[in-house]
Structure 1
Amino acid sequence: MDGRKPALKSPQKLSLLSSPVRAIIRLRRTAHILKKSFPAGDPQAKLLQRQISLGKAKLGSTSASLLSQASFESSQYFTFDTSVQPPVTRSSKRKKRHRNPRVLYPGTSKKYLPTEHKSKAKRCLLLLIAIICFQILNAIENLDDNLLKYDLDGLEKTMQREVFGQTLAVESLMGLLKDYLATHTHNKPLVISFNGPSGVGKSHIGWLLAKHFRSVTGHHSVLHYFTMHHCPDNVSTSACQLDLSKAISNMVTQAEIEEKIPLFILDEVELMPPALLETLSRFFQMNQTNEFLNAMYILISKVGGNEIMNVLLQNISGDPLPQPQRKMELLQEALRPVLSRIHPLWTLAEIVPFVLLEKGHILSCFYEEMMSEGIYPDPSHVESLAGQLSYYTQGGQQYATTGCKQVVAKVNLL
């Protein structure tokens, strides 16, 4: 209307339309060539004609859709920028990840876990643990077997039945014997010193020890030494030293061959001359051969009896001792200075103090002695015999001054 030329189509529309037009032209040329090569009534020519018409219809629809898309993109009202894509947020990524389907196994199939490679070091570690446990078990069994050989449980029951009023002394003695006899190899000999007043049961326990160990180890493994009998006043001290040294050496050598621990019970040690004590102390040292380290020595003496009596009577008159173990410690502390002044060999010994016996213990001694002699223990008769002895009276308690030492003489007069 205004004389201007109509605007040309955009190059984008030409590019969209050129490809379908070219395809239609190619199909027509191909169809024209095929019509010439096949006659008009041939069925293959009819089939080919149908395929060409279908191809034209598809190409026509494609071109129509492309034209509509081109007109939509060239709309003057709406414009869409397809080159810029919206930003992808983390939430969308997470949603996409969650949308991924899980891998589900069929119900009939078997699930195989990943194979684990076993390390050879674990096997070696288990083998080492098994060896250590076996060694520990074997060592414990050996300790039990060694203690069973000496039958210390039977010895303890015998002492509890026949020894009166010395519960702490018996417990301390049995603890030392069990610890020492648990093994055969030691770094020093066991030296135990029985100290206390006369008649409280020291020599009686020594006699029970000698009787028990002779029955379990043999007579040649036990020496019961009495100073007044084996070393009287008319015998020289040098001869006594030689005899004692020879007896100890022979017994220790024989016991080592038989894998036994010998026992030496030395009674009346307070009557031994200093030279004999010096000879005896040489066997208590640690710098000796192995056979001399595997030996037990029991020293029985009245040394320290007065100190024990004073400690007991003072504690009875004052505050009583709360614990038996504390009572034993106080008695040991009172005895050590006295014993060390006599000879240094007591510094190498385990001190076992024996306390005073009460009147009830004296009555038990009379009953036991009369039963052993075949005399009926009439209670009134026993009371009258016990009343003939002398006692310390302190804090409402009576303690025999001579213990059970005069009981045997009283019973023999019946």
Structure 2
Amino acid sequence: MAGSFCLVLLAVLVGTACWELPAFHCSLYNSCECGFRPDIDALDCDLARNVFGQHLVREQLVKALKVFLETERPGKPLVLSFHGWSGTGKTFVSSLLVKHLYKDGNRSPYVHRFSPILHFPHAQNVNQYKEDLKHWIQGNLTACSRSLFLFEEMDKMHPGLIDVITPFLGSSWVVFGSNYKKAIFVFVSNSGGDAINNVALNFWRERKDREEIRLGDVVPTITKAVMADQERE
């Protein structure tokens, strides 16, 4: 049985002033600012053709993006968290997401990737990393409110760094000169991988199809697993 991973929507806005789907083009996004040219239909097609056994990811990702992009004035940034074992497609789906959101795809200067191993390798430098990360996020949001921040291997991230990111995910942070609530934050983590696979295994034992798994079947187990990982750190 192939491995599974799950998308958790940590902070999806509730829409106000929604737009009609036919208006899904540049006029909706302030003249495609920062090369932001989302094509959700193409993303959905790409997911259907290239990602297998991950029905929850496809359903939740497309739904969340449509709600977020149809909202003229988002109440919060869109926050997506991918959980599961290595090799289950988290990074691949993240790449597809970026490909269909920005004109230059993964080469876009408005897509910012962070790896704890590459960017924050030394525990003794956490205080400096915290200052740097705060300025990096705030500076890039000032340059482009439609920035996307992708954090890989969140299970290896120093806890203090996570605390720096958290204020940018809410509704009350202030970034002068930018509507930071248009930004997208993506977190990729191995945490919860065992829990997700246990849910899939139990469904298999009960002779249920994988596609019968709903988000509510996995979110509580992922939450417990992530909290347990944090307590061990």
The TM-score bracket by the shorter chain reads 0.7 to 0.9
| 1:265-414 aligned within 5 A | 265-289=150-174, 291-320=179-208, 324=212, 326-342=213-229
Contact 2:56-2:214 at 8 Å conserved across structures: no
Does 2:49 align with 1:161? Answer: yes
User: Structure 1 residues 152 and 142 mapped into 2: Cα distance closer, same or farther (>3 Å)?
Assistant: closer
Whichever residue aligns with residue 171 of structure 2, its letter is M
Provide the residue aligned with 2:40 in structure 1: 152
Computing the radius of gyration over CA atoms, which structure comes out larger, 1 or 2? 1
Gap regions ≥5 residues in structure 1: 1-135, 345-414
Q: Give CA-to-partner distance per residue, 1:131-181, whole Å, 9 cap, x none.
A: xxxxx9x95378533389411212222222222322321221111111101
User: Structure 1 residues 307 and 234 mapped into 2: Cα distance closer, same or farther (>3 Å)?
Assistant: closer
Instruction: Give the number of equivalent residue pairs.
Output: 203
Contact 2:19-2:70 at 8 Å conserved across structures: no
Does 2:126 align with 1:237? Answer: yes
- Distance in 2 (CA, whole Å) between partners of 1:144 and 1:211 is 17
The root-mean-square deviation of aligned C-alpha atoms, in Å, is 2.9
Identity of matched residues, %: 26
Provide the residue aligned with 2:70 in structure 1: 182
Contact 1:222-1:264 at 8 Å conserved across structures: yes
User: Structure 1 residues 273 and 155 mapped into 2: Cα distance closer, same or farther (>3 Å)?
Assistant: same
Deviation at 1:233, TM superposition (A): 2.8
User: Structure 1 residues 211 and 150 mapped into 2: Cα distance closer, same or farther (>3 Å)?
Assistant: closer
- Distance in 2 (CA, whole Å) between partners of 1:213 and 1:323 is 27
Contact 2:126-2:161 at 8 Å conserved across structures: yes
- Distance in 2 (CA, whole Å) between partners of 1:235 and 1:220 is 30
Q: Which has the higher helix share?
A: 1
Greater RCO between the two (CA within 8 Å, min separation 6)? 2
Deviation at 1:234, TM superposition (A): 7.2
Deviation at 1:302, TM superposition (A): 0.5
Provide the residue aligned with 1:263 in structure 2: 148
Contact 2:110-2:148 at 8 Å conserved across structures: yes
Gap regions ≥5 residues in structure 2: 1-16
- Distance in 2 (CA, whole Å) between partners of 1:182 and 1:302 is 31
Q: Give CA-to-partner distance per residue, 1:292-324, whole Å, 9 cap, x none.
A: 222111110000011111111122112526963
- Distance in 2 (CA, whole Å) between partners of 1:230 and 1:216 is 23
User: Structure 1 residues 233 and 337 mapped into 2: Cα distance closer, same or farther (>3 Å)?
Assistant: same
- Distance in 2 (CA, whole Å) between partners of 1:238 and 1:193 is 25
- Distance in 1 (CA, whole Å) between partners of 2:52 and 2:86 is 14
User: Structure 1 residues 211 and 292 mapped into 2: Cα distance closer, same or farther (>3 Å)?
Assistant: same
User: Structure 1 residues 321 and 142 mapped into 2: Cα distance closer, same or farther (>3 Å)?
Assistant: closer
Q: TM-score of the superposition, structure 2-length normalised?
A: 0.75
Deviation at 1:332, TM superposition (A): 1.5
Contact 2:191-2:229 at 8 Å conserved across structures: no
Whichever residue aligns with residue 197 of structure 2, its letter is M
User: Structure 1 residues 176 and 143 mapped into 2: Cα distance closer, same or farther (>3 Å)?
Assistant: same
- Distance in 1 (CA, whole Å) between partners of 2:66 and 2:210 is 27
Contact 1:195-1:301 at 8 Å conserved across structures: yes
